[in-house]
Amino acid sequence: MTAATILIVDDEPPIRRLLRTSLASQGFQVIETADGRSALAEIERSCPDLVVLDLGLPDLDGLEVIRLLRADGNVVPILVLSSRSDEKGKVEALDLGADDYVTKPFGTAELFARIRAALRHRLQQQGEQPIFRSSDLEVDLVHRIVRVRGGEVKLTPKEYDILRMLVAHAGKVLTHRMLMSEVWGGETDVQYLRIYVRQLRQKIEINPERPQYILTETGIGYRLRME
Amino acid sequence: MPEQNGEPKRPDPEALLREAATETRGHLKVFLGAAPGVGKTYEMLLSAAAQRRAGVDVVIGLVETHGRVETEALVRDFEIIPRKHIEYNDRHLDEMDLDAILARKPSLVLVDELAHTNAPGSRHPKRYQDVDDLLAAGIDVYTAVNIQHLESLNDVVQQITRIRVRETVPDAFLDRADEIEVIDLTPADLIQRVKEGKVYVPMTAERALAHYFSPGNLTALRELALRRTAQRVDQQLLTHMQAHAISGPWSAGDRVLVVVNEHPKAAALVRYARRIAERLGARWTALYVETPRSLRLNEAARDRIAEALRMAGRLGGEAVTIPGRELAGEILDYAAKNNFSHIVIGRSARSRWHELLFGSITYEIVRRAGNVAVHVVTGAEKLTPTAQAIDTRPTTAAFAPRPYLISVALVGLAVGCGEVLARFLNVQNVALVFLTAVLVSAVAFGLRAALFASLLSVLAFNLFFLPPYYSITISDPENVVALFFFLVVALVASNLTASVRAQAMVARQRARTTEDLYLFSRKLAGIASMDDLLWAISSQVASMLKVRVVLFLPENGALELKTAWPPEDVAEEADLAAAKWSWESNKPAGRGADTLPGAKRLFMPMRTGRGPVAVIGIDSDKQGPLLTPDEQRLLDALADQAALAIERINLSENFDKAQRAAERDRLQAALLTSISHDLRTPLASILGAADGLAGLPDLSADDRKALLSTIQEEAERLNRFIANLLDMTKLESGAVAPNMALVDLGDVVGSTLRRADKILADHRIETALPPDLPMIKLDAVLFEQVLFNLLDNAAKYAPAGTTISLQGTCEGTTVRLQVQDEGPGIPQAELERIFDKFYRVRKADSQRAGTGLGLAICRGFVEAMGGTIEASNRASGHGAVFTVVLPVPNSNEPRAMP
């Protein structure tokens, strides 16, 4: 596999420098732009494998960039950089088609994990693994069997649907809306989702109060932890 | 008027010397009481016990327990210097052993009964001189004394209590005290204590209560004590008093009574009395004695009396009306009972003849005044006949025939009864039957009907019972005399009865008015906001006088309609002009008044001693004058009370504004300190560490790692601080709009714990959340921040290795989440303050404290979500507990279906 190319879109030179240095050290090819329009042009021109996109850009809103890309049919994974208190912006970016987000200020370890998950997800779209494993959790997607530490766990169909969604996007955040539209096929109340997630945790987590598989991204959605 | 300090004074060299001397002297604290039994000794012992617990070397030089159990219990714990026995004239006397105390040299000594006179042969004649020696030796002294023992107040106290106190302490001694604590007890409480036998008095309790411990005496003594101490209290108190419209300072020794009557000079008398009172710094009262004569006064005279009394109220005095017959006696009696030291009266306006025949009240008062100073004011003031400003309804009631018809019937009944009785009794006795009819008529209908009945009775008696019957002539001269005396008796009795009836009616009327006023003022007193107050005023006035009411208040220099009753009432142009004129000229205007009578309403200024505060406008659908004279007077009184209430709120709003401004300044200062400290400290560490990494080439791997982790940790700390500042700004600007949804508490707890992983690395975390905890409505993001801040706080204060526990419980309609730590806990006094912005609990080792924002944010967020948060300490001892309580939504919770 050739080194993946990552486009950094941020108007702050120090952030670009940090990202460039740390990503290059991990063996990625790095290109960068400072605003939305040149980002769109650059994506068109060099087809990067992943875009790290800051939401607050001087010319085009980062959300607008995502909207334009997705409207154009471009499926390049997008990792959004946003500030802590901007939960609404994050959800909107994700619902528009961004793959994941990292909150500024962020640690490089977290950034790499997100990038890897997003890249892997792109590869998996071509050929899904039949059995998913994360520490003691095992999900057999073909036979719809869930095992925790070797023992089989009985899930209701809805619980299984939620888990399957999370597994399909393992490591990536899923917004409430994504989960709900996938599992219930449309609008439903977020509290139903919360109740099912609680039940699911009771069944698969060792300590449901401090879950290690299904993590809550407060105000946004859920994420299945990848080992 | 409050006394202000003059220009700043240069330090007086002698004062500096004195100050230098006091540095080596002991510290003197005086527990000052208003009367025996208020608990000075007890308080002194309590304070001393606190000192002893703090490690101060305290001994008792002398304390009199007077056998009080509570006091004796306190004394037991102290070291007591034995008293010295002195033999004098075959008497055993126990005195404080000054030399023993000086030899023992404690840090603090307690000496009770400062005014005590020592037995002959002691070192000093007076105990306060002993105390002086103790202070000179550098020993701190707590002592107790009653106000009556103060030299300068000795005379005043004697006047009040009629008891001469022989043991006194010079004022200068009290002035030198470093600290004075007034032990205050309300007279009612103290009297209760005397009754219960808890107070040592050298006579029986009943006698003491009747004399020394009468409520009047105690009130006066209490005022003296408070005033004496208030002299030492600074500007702060004055500001407070002004803000709460408390007039002062007061003098308990001097009170001025001004007697008003219907005389046109009454207002001048009131002003004169106020001047005297002001000079004396005294409280003053305007008194009107309502006699039977008052009933016969015309409306103009009644208005003058009411105006004089109201004026007294406006000028800061008190207005009192008492019923009575004999003026001089009532006035003097009132003055004596209420401790007045000055009486102001006008010179009698009666003629010499009148004075010779009936005596002069003025002379009578001067003659019988005794200790009270009497000021007789001769009226030099011109009598300006004031045109009646407001047209009021005439009071001459239309002729009502009913009383006379019933009187005729009563006399007829008397004739009937008389016919029957005359068969058994002497005819003279029948006169008594007629007299009964006259009296009944007088009681029921008043003087006129009674006079009519009297004459009718004479006629009927003559016609039916005196021979020759059915003729006006009387044959027997004896009967003529009888008839004459019957007439005299009937007239006198009617007059007396009718005047009693009239007085009773007036008293009832006054009682009703007083009660109305009282209720009105009570209603107003409880109101804290201007809108509510204006609402209450207009609705009350409207319902009491059966009129429509509008209220105008000045706002930004212009008069504005603030409230109307009924609420939909609006003011027209002409009304506005009348209201304005009334405001500017401080006189009534509009309907029925001299100025702008074309307006729909009558407007009157509402004023206090400081000037007008509002304008009230009234109107009704009635034809003719709006108000009767009585109603007019009631309105005046209501307006005065309302004006005071408005002023009170104005003042307290100003006071609040000033306080808010001060609070804002304090917060700004705290914010600056916080930002400069909390931003710079981590920045300094980061910069230093980065410099080290860049500039020191031969660092060991460990050192590099240490510097790197410094950068990481400090940057994270900085990040948390900035997040807090942002949250606080959001709260302050009201930008927090919780996005409420049903949330699983365990879910939020889990994500918070994950986020707080690093800061909790040194602590054990225990969670106890029952699985059946109901979902609650909250904003998950805000709540996560609340939990994070609480955990951050716990991690900061509780030592490493201890447990932080999170417990959720459902109690009825609320869910309670508690975060408990095993740290030092929170000092009791700071449990509430820790939620204040920039407030940090002081830490002895000045170890890294919080930013002082975290808990303030917690409270702000929790309250925005409709919950409460409280701090407490664990019952078991060590550790703080933060409890968040949130309501469970009562909607039927959705249940998950399989």
Decide if B896 and A197 are in contact by the 8 Å CB cutoff. Answer: no
- Collapsing DSSP to helix, strand or coil, B784 comes out as helix
Q: Cβ contacts (< 8 Å) between A221 and chain B: which residues? A: none
What are the backbone dihedrals phi and psi of residue B140, each rounded to the nearest 5 degrees, phi first? Answer: -70, 145
β-strands B803-811, B764-768: how paired?
Answer: parallel
Separation CA B750–CA A213 (nearest Å): 11
Q: Is A42 exposed, middle or buried (0-12, 13-18, 19+ CB in 10 A)?
A: middle
Give the single-character DSSP code of B817: E
Q: Cβ contacts (< 8 Å) between B715 and chain A: which residues? A: 105
Give the single-character DSSP code of B427: H
Decide if B754 and A210 are in contact by the 8 Å CB cutoff. Answer: yes
Which of B719, B751, B767 is opposite residue A218, by nearest beta carbon? B751
β partners of residue B159: none
For chain A, percent helix, then strand, then coil, each to nearest 5?
A: 40, 25, 35
Q: How far is B5 from chain A (nearest CA, A)?
A: 55
Separation CA B145–CA B202 (nearest Å): 17
Separation CA B500–CA B444 (nearest Å): 11
CATH code of B255-377, in short, is: 3.40.50.620
The answer to whether residues A117 and A226 touch, using CB atoms and an 8 Å cutoff, is yes
Q: Cβ contacts (< 8 Å) between B804 and chain A: which residues? A: none
Q: Which residue of A has its CA nearest to B712?
A: A107
| Amino acid (one-letter) located at B669 | A
pLDDT at residue B804, as a whole number: 93
Token reading at B154: 């000795």
pLDDT at residue B357, as a whole number: 63
Please report the residues numbered 162 through 191 in chain A whose beta carbons come closer than 8 angstroms to any beta carbon of chain B: 189-191
More confident residue, A21 or B422: A21
Decide if A195 and B775 are in contact by the 8 Å CB cutoff. Answer: yes
All domains of chain A in start order, with CATH = 5-124 (3.40.50.2300), 131-224 (1.10.10.10)
Beta-carbon contacts of residue B282 (< 8 Å; ≥ 6 apart): B250, B251, B253, B254, B255, B256, B276, B341, B342
The answer to whether residues A157 and A200 touch, using CB atoms and an 8 Å cutoff, is no
Which of A87, A105, A216 is opposite residue B747, by nearest beta carbon? A216
Q: Which residue of A has its CA nearest to B769?
A: A209
Give the single-character DSSP code of B62: E
Architecture of domain B13-233: 3-Layer(aba) Sandwich (3.40)
The answer to whether residues B60 and B111 touch, using CB atoms and an 8 Å cutoff, is no
The angle at the Cα of B505, spanning B501 to B509, to the nearest 5 degrees, equals 170
Does domain B736-887 correspond to CATH entry 3.90.550.10?
A: no
Q: How many CB atoms lie within 10 A of CB B703?
A: 13
Which of A87, A192, A209 is opposite residue B769, by nearest beta carbon? A209
Which of B739, B747, B767 is opposite residue A198, by nearest beta carbon? B747
Token reading at B230: 């208030």
Radius of gyration of chain A (CA): 18
Please report where in the chains the tokens 């710094």 appear, as a residue: B281
Separation CA A59–CA A61 (nearest Å): 7
Separation CA A195–CA B63 (nearest Å): 72
Of B719, B721, B751, which to mutate for an interface test with A (greatest number of A Cβ within 10 Å)?
B751
Q: Is the pLDDT of residue A175 over 70?
A: yes
Chain B interface includes A219 (CB < 8 A): yes
Q: Which residue of A has its CA nearest to B774?
A: A195
Query: Between the CA of residue B161 and those of A19, B266, B280, B337, what are the distances in Å?
Result: 90, 33, 21, 12
pLDDT at residue B502, as a whole number: 79
Q: Which residue of A has its CA nearest to B751?
A: A216
Q: Which ipTM was obtained for this model?
A: 0.80
Q: How far is A39 from chain B (nearest CA, A)?
A: 29
Q: How far is B896 from chain A (nearest CA, A)?
A: 6
Q: Cβ contacts (< 8 Å) between A84 and chain B: which residues? A: 723
Q: Which residue of B has its CA nearest to A106?
A: B716
Domain chopping of chain B, boundaries: 13-233, 255-377, 402-502, 529-646, 736-887
Chain A interface includes B651 (CB < 8 A): no
| Amino acid (one-letter) located at B55 | G
Positions in chain B whose pLDDT score sits under 70: 1-23, 152, 155-156, 159-160, 162, 200-208, 210, 224, 226-253, 348-359, 379-398, 569, 840-851, 890-898
pLDDT at residue B402, as a whole number: 84
pLDDT at residue B397, as a whole number: 52
Q: Cβ contacts (< 8 Å) between A195 and chain B: which residues? A: 744, 775, 894-896
Please report the residues numbered 711 through 730 in chain B whose beta carbons come closer than 8 angstroms to any beta carbon of chain A: 715, 719, 723, 726-727, 730
Decide if B781 and A195 are in contact by the 8 Å CB cutoff. Answer: no
Decide if A218 and B754 are in contact by the 8 Å CB cutoff. Answer: no
The answer to whether residues A55 and A62 touch, using CB atoms and an 8 Å cutoff, is yes
Q: Is B662 exposed, middle or buried (0-12, 13-18, 19+ CB in 10 A)?
A: exposed
Separation CA B748–CA B15 (nearest Å): 67
Please report where in the chains the tokens 């050739």 appear, as a residue: A2
Q: Is B48 left (phi over 0), alpha (psi -120 to 50) or beta?
A: alpha
Decide if A208 and B753 are in contact by the 8 Å CB cutoff. Answer: no
Decide if B781 and A87 are in contact by the 8 Å CB cutoff. Answer: yes
Chain B interface includes A215 (CB < 8 A): yes
Separation CA A106–CA A108 (nearest Å): 7
Radius of gyration of chain B (CA): 40
Please report where in the chains the tokens 């820790």 appear, as a residue: B834
What are the backbone dihedrals phi and psi of residue A218, each rounded to the nearest 5 degrees, phi first? Answer: -55, 130
Peptide bond before B468: cis, by omega within 30 degrees of 0? yes
Separation CA B141–CA B108 (nearest Å): 6
Beta-carbon contacts of residue B724 (< 8 Å; ≥ 6 apart): B789, B851, B853, B854, B857
Q: How far is B841 from chain A (nearest CA, A)?
A: 28
Q: Cβ contacts (< 8 Å) between B726 and chain A: which residues? A: 85
Chain B interface includes A110 (CB < 8 A): no
Chain B interface includes A205 (CB < 8 A): no
Please report the residues numbered 62 through 101 in chain A whose beta carbons come closer than 8 angstroms to any beta carbon of chain B: 84-85, 87
Q: Which residue of B has its CA nearest to A211?
A: B750
The answer to whether residues B542 and B570 touch, using CB atoms and an 8 Å cutoff, is no
Instruction: Strands of chain A (E only): list them.
Output: 5-9, 29-33, 50-54, 78-83, 100-104, 131-134, 137-140, 145-148, 151-153, 173-175, 214-217, 221-224
In terms of DSSP H, where are the helices of B359-401?
Answer: 361-368
Separation CA B692–CA B714 (nearest Å): 15
Q: Which long-range contacts (CB under 8 A, 24 or more apart) does B233-241 make?
A: B238/B2, B239/B655, B241/B2
Separation CA B3–CA B235 (nearest Å): 9
- A214 CA to centre of own chain: 14
The answer to whether residues B224 and B157 touch, using CB atoms and an 8 Å cutoff, is yes
Q: Cβ contacts (< 8 Å) between A223 and chain B: which residues? A: none
Q: How far is B665 from chain A (nearest CA, A)?
A: 29
Decide if B748 and A210 are in contact by the 8 Å CB cutoff. Answer: no
Does domain B529-646 correspond to CATH entry 3.40.630.40?
A: no
- Whether B13-233 shares its CATH topology with B255-377 is answered yes
Decide if B898 and A156 are in contact by the 8 Å CB cutoff. Answer: yes
pLDDT at residue B309, as a whole number: 83
Decide if A218 and B780 are in contact by the 8 Å CB cutoff. Answer: yes
The answer to whether residues B837 and B672 touch, using CB atoms and an 8 Å cutoff, is no
Q: How far is A206 from chain B (nearest CA, A)?
A: 13
Token reading at B490: 């009937």
pLDDT at residue B228, as a whole number: 62
